Structure 1
Amino acid sequence: MAIMAIVIEILLAVAFLFSGFTKVAGVKMQVDSFNKLGLPQWFRVLTGLLQLVGVAGLVVGFWTTSWSAWAAIGIGFIMVCAVIAHLRAKDSFGQVVPALVLAILAIVLAILQGSDLGDFPN
């Protein structure tokens, strides 16, 4: 596995481990954010759980890259949706940037490991 892919995988895993747990735990910042975006709280929990599933896929992907490739696609989809939600809420560019950067990182990882997508689940 290329060093760039490993670095991106680690960054995404750490970011989404934190983000997923805070969403599932109902940390005030996450609750407020979903309220501001006009999204229901059950969707916050679902999003957090999906992020944690993505983290699990990234971790398994250290040994089997097809897992991290699919996890990157899932995380990328979540973050593209997050960018859209922030834009619909008319958030400032600074508020959109974190979701945009994470979406780009996930897409880059999916591209780097795209040749392994067909090997899933092995």
Structure 2
Amino acid sequence: MTTAQTVLAVALSMIFLPLGLAKVAAVPFMRQAAAHLGMSPGRYRVIGALETAGAAGLLMRLAWVPLGVAAAAGLTALMVAAAVVHLRHGDPPGQALPAAVLALTAVAYAGVAIAAG
């Protein structure tokens, strides 16, 4: 396990865990975000559960690296979908940028993890 793997896993988890939990808990800010994108609170909760599971998978990669790679792949797919949803909804590209950056960061983690073996 490399330092880069650890740093990327912890950084991604520190972002996805609170955001995922906020979606699952349907806090007012997240309900507003779901409404803005035309999503039901239930669908947004599912997305939050997937983000939370992805964050947990990144952290559990200490026990089994393939789990971390799978979690990163799932988070990448979620963030690519999030960027697409923002753009299709007519949001300016700047609103899709955080999701795109997180997707690239998750890809970087997977790449580092695979390269480290």
Q: Normalising by structure 1, what TM-score? A: 0.88
Match of 1:85 in 2: 85
Distance in 1 (alpha carbons) for counterparts of 2:50 and 2:116: 22
CA contact (8 A) 2:2 2:116 kept: no
For structure 1, list consecutive stretches of 5 or more residues without a partner in the other structure: 118-122
CA contact (8 A) 1:69 1:116 kept: no
Q: Show the 5 A alignment for 1:1-122.
A: 1-114=1-114
For structure 2, list consecutive stretches of 5 or more residues without a partner in the other structure: none
Distance in 2 (alpha carbons) for counterparts of 1:8 and 1:91: 28
Distance in 1 (alpha carbons) for counterparts of 2:34 and 2:86: 10
Distance in 2 (alpha carbons) for counterparts of 1:87 and 1:42: 22
Q: How many Å apart are 1:69 and its aligned residue?
A: 0.6
Match of 1:120 in 2: none
Q: Deviations over 1:21-52 (max 9, x none)?
A: 10011111111111111112111000011111
CA contact (8 A) 1:72 1:110 kept: yes
CA contact (8 A) 1:65 1:116 kept: no
Secondary structure of residue in 2 paired with 1:113: helix
Backbone CA RMSD of aligned residues = 1.6
CA contact (8 A) 2:8 2:109 kept: yes
**Runs of 4+, deviation exceeding 6 Å:** none
Identical pairs, percent: 32
